Structure 1
Amino acid sequence: MIFRLSQSLLFLLVSALAVQARIVRIEISSRQTPTFEGRVFGSVGAYEKLRGKAYGELDPNLPQNAGITDIRLAPRNARGMVEYAMDIYILKPVDLKTGNHKLFLEVNNRGGKLFGGLNNSTGGNDPTTAAQAGEGFLMNRGYTLAWNGWDPSAAAVNNNLTISIPVARQADSSAITGPSYEYISFDNATTGSYALAYPAANLDKSRAVLTVRDQLQDAPTPVPADGWEYVNERTIRLTPAGAAFRQSAVYEFVYLARDPIVAGIGFAATRDFVSFLRYAKTDDFGHPNPLADDVQYTFSYTLSQPARYLNDFQTLGFNADEQNRRVIDGMENWLGGGSGIGLNVRFAQPSRTERNRQNHLYPEGVFPFAYPVLTDPLSGKTAGRGAACSATNTCPKVFEINSANEYWVKAASLLHTDGQGNDLPDPENVRFFLVSGAQHGTGNATSQGICQQLQNPTNAEPLLRALFVALDEWVTKGTKPPESAVPRRSDGTAAVAVSQPGRQTGLVPRAELGWPTIPGVMYTGLITTRYQLDFGPAFAKGIVANYPPSVTDRPVYVNFVSKVDQDGNEVAGIRLPPVAVPVATTTGWALRQGGFAENEGCEGSGQYIPFKTTKAERLAAHDPRLSLQERYPTHASYVEAVRKAAQNLAKKRLLLDEDVQKYTKAAEASLVLK
């Protein structure tokens, strides 16, 4: 009897451990030791590369998982668990003892790696050679780098990281159907077909609507039934054969779809992977955790889409694992704006993101936007991005860093305001930074693309490196972080947007912004507006009924951007040397050129509008901005101004000493007044 009782207790204990072990199996399919052609990184030594898969299980009844949309409708294994599998990729010191015992999780963008983001590398999706290690910023400091698949829309090509998750089914195993929505726009005149995110429930065209408009402010016009057709359940095309979508026109397709995937599992996958690396010794089959007993601190780095992912990761409570342990200690979120990702909804399309003229009306920019618990002034709902982690004492330290483009096209000011445009105090664990005058990423100053002006080349990576060091010191040493640097209404640096009734964009009046009249440069004030969108009564459960939601007469949230100086350069935020010591006006916004929906938003691009070299040239052009000669009498004086600006940023811990030297050398090598 005692023996039987012991067996029962042992079974219950093993079962409990299995339930907690969310990553049940890890497979390392390849190991390259060393990688980077044996390159040695300071005292850390060589690195090795591990590639493989991790297999996870989720108990749909646990509170930590119950909020995943449709998880109760996912198929289960014999243990009643919902299964998933994901690609994993690890770069670690060959000898973990020489590393710094810190995990650097780079959340991939649509399956693609940036190889640490801060390494100044061209390593791509499978960094292997010594040259592809770049400057080795992270490796020289001893970080272990890790990636995992989380985005179910990521294509399984070119070493992308993918995840396999189940399709939700009705309780009787029949297919789930519902409305799905496609925002379609091509900046060419040759594309004639379009792949749907989900299969059509049937090919009855009377159950679908395709509309078109050339400008956002135009009323959508239905495409006649004989003007399009289903190629199959996953593809539509225009007819007659050879017809193409109008260049840069906006088409919208609403149809009855089937077989939604349980996309919110993508949040649990990252939670469980990092928790496994941090806390586990082996998987359920005895395979060792390659980082067992090593990880003392965890950090994440994101750029764009995954920054929005981590915004919702926090909101939905996934920074606590199933045992309520903190998953990520410090997050550096770059280019996330005030948005989420719309992953935890039925018929999710996480690859989408809204800008002035791109991918409107998806469930991305929905309340809550800010970290504190607030009451939504439009819906009356109460929530905050930091509420879930506060309840479990698992909040990370967070740097929310955005370019000017995110303020213009993704309403980033909502991160630090109350929805009515009133400034909020910084949460204890979060700081906010605007990279003044920067576009979404680094642009090519020799190319316009489809925009009216040259793209903006302002590069934020030197700042990101310094802030990452500051984040590490905040987490590991308790060192006070740099102060937030963003536009505020309270200090007079915010230019508030005005909504336009019945339109999907707002505007910032020229006088409000302080924008100068620059010859040859169009200013319309176009800015993204965040509406309170009505997705239907079941949206709280992740089910979208209203597609597309109407914006006509919908209330709007108040958002703003930074005011500008007499040159058109932003006054708020962190002014890197190219903005503090300018040779051009740099903006986070841009407009499309003729033939591509002229004067509408040019998505993530900014502008680079050079100053004239001499006073005579600028007077002849009627340019109000001072010429280079009027600003910097000599090349040497320009170089000195750059050096001082960089040094001032370094004193504030916003640049590292090595990047101060790089800015100075770049100024010396420039042709400014040579």
Structure 2
Amino acid sequence: MRRIITGLIAITCLWPTASLAEIVRFDILAREPAFAGRSFGDVGTYERITARATFALNPSDDRNAVITDLALAPRSSDGKVAATADVVILRPTDPTHGNGTLLLEVPNRGRKLAPQLFDDAAQPGANNADKAEDAGIGFLHRQGFTMVWVGWQGDIPSKPGQMAMTAPVLKTVTGPAREEVVFDNTTNPARATLTWPATDAADLKVSVRAAWADARQAPSGLLAKLVDPVTVEITRPDGFDAGALYEITYTARDPVPLGMGYAAVRDVVSFLRHDETQANPLLNGLHPSVSRAIGFGVSQSGRFLRDFLYLGFNEDLQGRTVFDGLMPHVAGTRRMATNVRFGQPGRNPRHPQDPAWQADLFPFTYASLSDPYSGKTDGLLRRCALSATCPKVMQTDSEHEWWASHASLLVTDLAGNHLDLPDNVRAYMISGTPHFAEAADVMKKGLPAMSLPQNPMHAGMPMRALLTDLNAWISDGIKPPASRVPMRAHGTLVPAQGAVPMDIPGLPYAGIHTLAAFSDQSVLPPKEIGRYPVFVPKADNDGMAIAGIRQLALAVPRATYTAWNPRAQGFGPTALYPLQGAVVPFAPTEAARKEVHDPRLSIAERYADDGAYVAAVKREAARQVAERTLLPEDAERAVEAAKQGKLAKLGQ
């Protein structure tokens, strides 16, 4: 039964101890059964709590002063700057059946993605938690996690299905802004949406180039018109294909101190973990039902967590650790263009777009290094080390990030030499996977802009094992498996030229990958000063990465799975298609492969029959379970999929 709470809870008046957390109101809007009352083993049923948190920040506090433009925002009579954040909580109905861990997922552009990854749930149900099937396989719920989402993005509206933060608008502030667009179509004229409203059509400028490395051009056929303050209509010139790169510069107005989103996450998590008043929906008796917390985020949200850590937000306002563990997923070595004026948190500078963007700035890795260009010595752990609030970090990336998000800078210094990770950090590359895939995906042709069939490999199985490992690490001190990534010292992290065999039919390798540049951000457009060395995973004779966690479909293969997919002719073919990989099946027989001069062994040469293939999957599954990169329940699922001919996800 749905229960709406209309009374607003003013924490500062009724529970003065909570005011230290900067949460001044926690309004519970609804409490209701989740997943239509579905029960999850010993944990039982879940309830969903929908809430809104109001937080107020003192700009004079050093832990808030790092937020760009916070000091310019309107203040209340007590000198603080207030904002509100959407909050959703999924918790065991009986909190004594939970595992004591708060798992916060940072929403990705307002959406929940953890259920897709860990529970194999499909959208839109994964975002809603209404129906029984919305929980997918129910992994997170059977483990007893208390799941929390906090809206943090201040440049998007709060609406059903999209969580956000509502923060003050700085009405008197204007300044330069820059955006890049690849249309991937031939529509002419075409429209682009700006992140911030433009002040004056006369200040609007647009350029075009076939590839990022080319010079910007403004040919006579290129025109730009401001349709409304956030919509630009571009008349596209002749001579450029569907994948051309358009750059828009303009004078923007009405920014928001977007860095308040980091404080929203910090303060809500601290409140839920520590507040002992009736205002806390996680209160169980005298104390909250959670005693530790993991921060998780996918892509944009993984980059949020890297920035959250770097900017010092893992220390709450009482000096306590916010997250015991962090799990940024598919972030590569990027951070965010959020804590800057006219930031663009929703933008991912994907190949072939700008490698000089503000999300791609030093420092790249957790250890402190000296940057030869800026002269700074810095690392993602520097601030938390000073306050003794560093979490245990488990960074997980698809292989795609090692091609498109210069993930090699995690494990090299800035001269390209091998670099060991700190003791509290693990890194794992899930080999042969695209940026993000659905559990139900199979090989398909993909979009017209892709030159190869689309890689369907979903990362759910290794991610479930790694989350289990991280929870054991923060709960019981059980160390997780050693990092599993390509490394210079192992010979598995190499220059792009020659990294992948070039004699595999249907797999055109040209060494395309994203660069890492140092640029002067004080000018518009930024001026490149220098570049950092970037390396890619070395492939075996089948064209698949040697290092990393190889899922069973790759360890016992029936096809080559890559984490890169070149753009097709007519769509900027000198670049990679963003976020995707490719798949090239093996020939069925030796004769068939020799006919096309395929050096890869055929399926018949690898496995005597289907039974031999399934037996090989069983052996490899047992090995991965022993290494704690695969759960026993997923080993059983994989073996059954192999028996049904579905493990390779080739759509047969």
What's the CA shift for 1:224?
Answer: 4.8
**Partner AA of 2:443 in structure 1:** A
- What is the aligned partner in structure 1 of residue 223 from structure 2? 227
- What is the aligned partner in structure 1 of residue 501 from structure 2? 515
- What is the aligned partner in structure 1 of residue 520 from structure 2? 534
Q: Mapping of 1:331-410 within 5 angstroms?
A: 331-358=326-353, 360-410=355-405
- What is the aligned partner in structure 1 of residue 62 from structure 2? 63
Gaps of 5+ in 2: 1-11
Cα distance in 1, alignment partners of residues 569 and 241 from structure 2: 14
Higher alpha-carbon deviation: 225-234 or 471-480 = 225-234
**Partner AA of 2:508 in structure 1:** M
What's the CA shift for 1:236?
Answer: 1.8
Deviations 1:247-269 (A, max 9, x none): 22211011111222101111111
Cα distance in 2, alignment partners of residues 226 and 295 from structure 1: 57
Cα distance in 1, alignment partners of residues 15 and 46 from structure 2: 37
Cα distance in 2, alignment partners of residues 493 and 193 from structure 1: 43
Higher alpha-carbon deviation: 117-126 or 427-436 = 117-126
Cα distance in 2, alignment partners of residues 410 and 98 from structure 1: 40
Q: Answer yes or no: is the 8 Å Cα contact 1:150–1:270 preserved in 2.
A: yes
- What is the aligned partner in structure 2 of residue 502 from structure 1? none
* Match of residue 574, structure 1, among 549, 552, 563: 549
Matched position secondary structure for 1:124:
helix
Cα distance in 1, alignment partners of residues 570 and 222 from structure 2: 27
- What is the aligned partner in structure 2 of residue 439 from structure 1? 434
Q: Answer yes or no: is the 8 Å Cα contact 1:125–1:160 preserved in 2.
A: no
Cα distance in 2, alignment partners of residues 447 and 85 from structure 1: 43
**Partner AA of 2:555 in structure 1:** A
* Match of residue 173, structure 2, among 159, 166, 176: 176
Cα distance in 2, alignment partners of residues 631 and 256 from structure 1: 61
Q: Answer yes or no: is the 8 Å Cα contact 1:576–1:646 preserved in 2.
A: no
- What is the aligned partner in structure 2 of residue 215 from structure 1? 211
Q: Answer yes or no: is the 8 Å Cα contact 1:183–1:360 preserved in 2.
A: no
Deviations 1:133-182 (A, max 9, x none): 1111111121111101001233434421111011235xxxxx22211001
**Partner AA of 2:212 in structure 1:** L
**Partner AA of 2:184 in structure 1:** D
Cα 1:156–1:463 shift into 2, 3 Å: same
Cα distance in 2, alignment partners of residues 148 and 527 from structure 1: 34
* Match of residue 273, structure 2, among 278, 281, 297: 278
Gaps of 5+ in 1: 1-11, 170-174, 497-507, 537-545
- Check if 1:600 corresponds to 2:575: yes
Q: Mapping of 1:99-138 within 5 angstroms?
A: 99-116=98-115, 117-122=117-122, 123-138=125-140
- Check if 1:51 corresponds to 2:50: yes
- What is the aligned partner in structure 2 of residue 500 from structure 1? none
Q: Mapping of 1:201-280 within 5 angstroms?
A: 201-203=199-201, 205=202, 207-222=203-218, 224=220, 227-238=223-234, 247-280=242-275
TM-score w.r.t. the length of structure 2 is: 0.92
- Check if 1:189 corresponds to 2:177: no
What's the CA shift for 1:208?
Answer: 3.0
What's the CA shift for 1:119?
Answer: 1.5
- What is the aligned partner in structure 1 of residue 6 from structure 2? none
Q: Answer yes or no: is the 8 Å Cα contact 1:189–1:244 preserved in 2.
A: no
Matched position secondary structure for 1:636:
helix
What's the CA shift for 1:366?
Answer: 0.4
Q: State the number of aligned residues.
A: 627
Cα 1:263–1:632 shift into 2, 3 Å: same
- What is the aligned partner in structure 2 of residue 162 from structure 1? 164
Cα distance in 2, alignment partners of residues 271 and 372 from structure 1: 23
Deviations 1:347-403 (A, max 9, x none): 000001122213554200101111112111332111110011111111111111111
What's the CA shift for 1:246?
Answer: 6.1
Cα distance in 2, alignment partners of residues 463 and 68 from structure 1: 36
Cα distance in 2, alignment partners of residues 95 and 281 from structure 1: 18
Cα distance in 2, alignment partners of residues 594 and 183 from structure 1: 21
Q: Answer yes or no: is the 8 Å Cα contact 1:86–1:163 preserved in 2.
A: yes
- What is the aligned partner in structure 2 of residue 6 from structure 1? none
Cα distance in 1, alignment partners of residues 354 and 40 from structure 2: 43
Deviations 1:49-76 (A, max 9, x none): 1112110000000000001011111110
* Match of residue 142, structure 1, among 130, 141, 144: 144
- What is the aligned partner in structure 1 of residue 633 from structure 2? 658
Cα distance in 1, alignment partners of residues 199 and 642 from structure 2: 60
Q: Answer yes or no: is the 8 Å Cα contact 2:334–2:405 preserved in 1.
A: yes
**Partner AA of 2:558 in structure 1:** V
Deviations 1:230-255 (A, max 9, x none): 22322221359x99996222110111
**Partner AA of 1:621 in structure 2:** V
Q: Answer yes or no: is the 8 Å Cα contact 1:462–1:655 preserved in 2.
A: yes
Q: Answer yes or no: is the 8 Å Cα contact 1:271–1:327 preserved in 2.
A: yes
Q: Answer yes or no: is the 8 Å Cα contact 1:514–1:563 preserved in 2.
A: yes
What's the CA shift for 1:296?
Answer: 0.7
Identity between Structure 1 and Structure 2 (%): 39
Q: Answer yes or no: is the 8 Å Cα contact 2:259–2:339 preserved in 1.
A: yes
What's the CA shift for 1:17?
Answer: 4.9
**Partner AA of 2:506 in structure 1:** G
**Partner AA of 1:547 in structure 2:** L
Deviations 1:607-654 (A, max 9, x none): 101110011111111111111111112111111111111111110000
- What is the aligned partner in structure 2 of residue 618 from structure 1? 593
**Partner AA of 1:121 in structure 2:** A
**Partner AA of 1:355 in structure 2:** R
Cα 1:288–1:483 shift into 2, 3 Å: closer
**Partner AA of 1:176 in structure 2:** V
What's the CA shift for 1:19?
Answer: 5.3
What's the CA shift for 1:15?
Answer: 12
**Partner AA of 2:275 in structure 1:** A
Q: Mapping of 1:405-420 within 5 angstroms?
A: 405-420=400-415
Q: Mapping of 1:442-461 within 5 angstroms?
A: 442=437, 444-449=442-447, 450-461=449-460
Matched position secondary structure for 1:181:
strand
Q: Answer yes or no: is the 8 Å Cα contact 1:125–1:158 preserved in 2.
A: no
What's the CA shift for 1:187?
Answer: 1.2
Q: Answer yes or no: is the 8 Å Cα contact 1:516–1:566 preserved in 2.
A: no
- What is the aligned partner in structure 1 of residue 8 from structure 2? none
Cα distance in 1, alignment partners of residues 221 and 17 from structure 2: 57
Q: Answer yes or no: is the 8 Å Cα contact 1:356–1:602 preserved in 2.
A: yes
What's the CA shift for 1:281?
Answer: 2.4
Cα 1:141–1:409 shift into 2, 3 Å: same
Q: Answer yes or no: is the 8 Å Cα contact 1:209–1:222 preserved in 2.
A: no
Matched position secondary structure for 1:463:
helix
- What is the aligned partner in structure 2 of residue 30 from structure 1? 30
Matched position secondary structure for 1:595:
coil
Matched position secondary structure for 2:386:
helix
Cα 1:155–1:636 shift into 2, 3 Å: farther
Cα distance in 2, alignment partners of residues 476 and 217 from structure 1: 48
Q: Mapping of 1:252-331 within 5 angstroms?
A: 252-282=247-277, 287-291=279-283, 293-331=288-326
Cα 1:48–1:527 shift into 2, 3 Å: same
Cα 1:13–1:427 shift into 2, 3 Å: farther
- What is the aligned partner in structure 1 of residue 493 from structure 2? 494
RMSD: 2.4
